[in-house]
Amino acid sequence: MMARPSVAKREKAATVLGILEETYPDATCELKFSSAFQLLTATILSAQCTDRGVNAVTPELFGRYPEPTQLAEADRSDVERIIHSTGFYRAKTDSIIRMSQMLLAEFSGEVPQTLDELVTLPGVGRKTANVVLGEWFGVPGITTDTHVLRLSRRLGWSKLKDPVKVEADLCALFPEQTWISLCRVTIWHGRRRCHARRPACGACLVAELCPSFGEGEVDPVKAQALVSVPVG
């Protein structure tokens, strides 16, 4: 069984989380959707694609196929055309059409509300399932996307690389009621300041608590220039 993190480590992590929540009070999922089905579909499309790229195609996709009933019977070539720019469009088309068919066949057309059921759907892994659970159903879960993995390492929350193990480390470090917020603000911080290639350390409000301070630009003026504006 995994050892519980020390009180000091949990308190420090809570302090960092509090600062990130103050820095990004509006942090939320940046995908555009108006139902659990649309969020699930958009999250499948977001694999290897930015939210901005997904948001560019979903108005047409959801305009033509707003519910599983329509997408389950969609013309493949039409769906491939619409989502082409998100990459891996053939596999994604296959996933979202089969996911829709399975929703109708197994779940009365409704998106299930448990992790165990969600991961039985085509194209849906733990990460996608946790996005839907947290963002639509309000069920606490840790979404170990690329930003959460990178920031967990930089902030000293986990030394591991395997997403399932990092998820377990974060679950042990943070109280369950903070998990949804934790993922939102961590992803926002990763997109705006703690970039993969050149983190803006000199413009980072958790710099004093970060063991990786200096991995990026430390000059305040140059670092501020690296801070990104939100995706569309």
- Residue 110 is a binding residue for ligand SF4 (CB under 6 A): no
In the set 127, 159, 161, 169, the catalytic residue is 127
Amino acid at 193: R
Cα–Cα distances (Å) from 211 to 13, 173, 220, in that order, read 12, 17, 18
Phi, psi dihedral angles at 66 (to 5 degrees): -75, -20
Phi, psi dihedral angles at 213 (to 5 degrees): -55, 130
**Distance of alpha carbon 57 from alpha carbon 86, whole angstroms:** 8
Amino acid at 157: W
Q: Is 75 a catalytic residue?
A: no
The 137-156 contact track toward ligand SF4, x by CB under 6 A, reads -----------------xx-
**Cβ 171 to ligand SF4 shortest distance, Å:** 21
**Distance of alpha carbon 216 from alpha carbon 112, whole angstroms:** 41
Phi, psi dihedral angles at 87 (to 5 degrees): 85, 155
Q: Which of 155, 131, 211 is nearest to 14 (CA)?
A: 155
Q: Is 127 a catalytic residue?
A: yes
The 37-56 contact track toward ligand SF4, x by CB under 6 A, reads --------------------
- Residue 194 is a binding residue for ligand SF4 (CB under 6 A): yes
**Cβ 208 to ligand SF4 shortest distance, Å:** 8
Residue located via tokens 């769906």? 79
Binding-site member from 204, 221, 224, 231 for ligand SF4 (CB under 6 A): 204
Interacting positions 159-188 with ligand SF4 (CB under 6 A): none
**Cβ 217 to ligand SF4 shortest distance, Å:** 9
- Residue 200 is a binding residue for ligand SF4 (CB under 6 A): yes
Region for residue 156 given its phi and psi (left: phi exceeds 0; alpha: psi -120 to 50; beta: otherwise) = left
Among the candidate windows 55-63, 81-89, 140-148, 197-205, which touches ligand SF4 by CB under 6 A?
Answer: 197-205
Which residue ranges make up the site for ligand SF4 (CB under 6 A)? 154-155, 193-194, 199-201, 204, 206-207, 210, 212-213, 215-216
